[in-house]
Amino acid sequence: MPLPLIALIVASFAIGTSEFVIVGLLPELARDFAVSIPQAGYLVSAYALGVTFGSPFVAVLVGRLNRRAALIVLMGVFVLGNFLCALAPDYGLMMAARIITALSHGAFFGIGSVVAADLVPREKRARAVALVFLGLTMANVLGVPAGTILGQAAGWRATFWAVLAIGVLSMAAIGWLLPRDLRGGSGRLLNEVRILGRKQVLLAMLMAVLSSASLFSVFTYIAPLLERVTGLTPHWVSFVLLLFGAGLTAGGLLGGNLADRHSARTIVMTLVGIAAVLVVLWLTSEDAVLAVLTIMVWGVAVFTMVSPLQTRVIDHARDAPNLASTINQGAFNLGNASGAWLGGAALGLGVGYAGLPLVGAALAGVALIVAVVAFRLERREREQG
């Protein structure tokens, strides 16, 4: 592993911990800010929207910088956001601080993916991109549980101070380990925007939205599904989520290795696998052992998609990849929000928690159709030109 990738992994671990740890601290935040837990939950939504709609503008602002400098600036924004979170005296300022923190997220993973792909030989690009996202999955397995325990023991502000410290460490590591001669973006906003209109870039982003929506239409409601349908206690639900996080980590690494050999086949087979696993979850959700095993396999499958899709966007937007790669991160987050909404809408229509895996399977099926269309168009264009 090239040493610069270690700096990117540490940074993505810090960003992932900051994004997700707040879920475990909602009761403490709600109590201190005198708001309801659902109101405190809007801090999660605000972050996701900040990533989706704010990060592209940040990517444009840092687009003229050398990519090493851009990543240092973005981690500086991340550190500032967590500093403001740790000091926030009320709910409104906490909301603003979370949005500021989110601004660095999409642009960091977008530009970081481009940097990782440039640091290794072409046949190892997807694996390098997968390693950048490894920090994100490790945050779910290690950072979020540790941050939640720290926040419950020493107060939620202590968690944000700890995340800030990791952010400062990663910023120093990026400055020390990344090459100084990393080129910047195209420097031309019109050129960056024009590339967003390419069919293959748009289709890859649509796959990102749909695959992420498939995940969150079920995962958002996984705790009540496991408790009410499967019959697990909250303690066992936490254990299942830990296994799911381990599956995400394994899937990220697997996706990078497979995509370097055959990206299109990896995407198609993974979508088929996701749809199949969710149908199996629908069938096994009332059996504790089978449901837990299925959820672990599901975790492996869903994150196998990330690096192939991110690498695909970089490849098809190679003339000016910064903005496209960043917006693709927004596409994943748009899928997160859309999936949660669709799952809630299905519950409102009486589908029930046990039926949610079928909703996720249907969304994966639509993503599969988009993938097949994209790859057929690509093959036709290759044959014609």
| Digit-coded pLDDT (tens) for 219-270 | 878 878 888 899 988 778 878 878 888 888 888 888 888 887 888 889 999 9
Task: Say yes or no: 191 and 181 in one domain.
Answer: no
Are 95 and 242 in the same domain?
no
Q: How far apart are CA 177 and CA 360, in angstroms?
A: 41
pLDDT at residue 357 above 90?
yes
Q: Domain end: 154, 185, 216, which one?
A: 185
Range of the domain at 96: 1-185
Q: Which of 152, 168, 185 is the last residue of a domain?
A: 185
Cα dihedral 289, 290, 295, 298, rounded to 10, equals: 150
**pTM score:** 0.81
Determine the residue type at 84.
L
Do residues 178 and 194 share a domain? Answer: no
Residues 119 and 199 in one domain: no
Q: Which of 121, 150, 185 is the last residue of a domain?
A: 185
Q: Which residue has the higher pLDDT, 20 or 291?
A: 291
- CATH code, domain carrying 290: 1.20.1250.20
Q: Are 180 and 198 in a shared domain?
A: no
346 and 229 fall within a common domain: yes
pLDDT tens by residue, 307-337 = 888 888 888 877 667 778 788 888 888 888 7
Residue 81: per-residue pLDDT: 95
Q: Which of 133-137, 203-207, 279-283 has the lowest mean pLDDT?
A: 133-137
Residue 186 confidence (pLDDT) above 60: no
How many residues are listed for the chain in this entry?
A: 385
Predicted pLDDT of residue 192: 65
For the residues 179-192, what does the mean pLDDT come to? 63
Please tell me whether residues 191 and 86 are part of one structural domain.
no
List pLDDT tens digits, range 51-104.
Answer: 888 888 888 888 778 888 999 999 999 999 999 999 999 999 999 999 999 998
- Domains: count for the chain: 2
Same domain, 329 and 200: yes
pLDDT band at residue 282, thresholds of 50, 70 and 90? very high
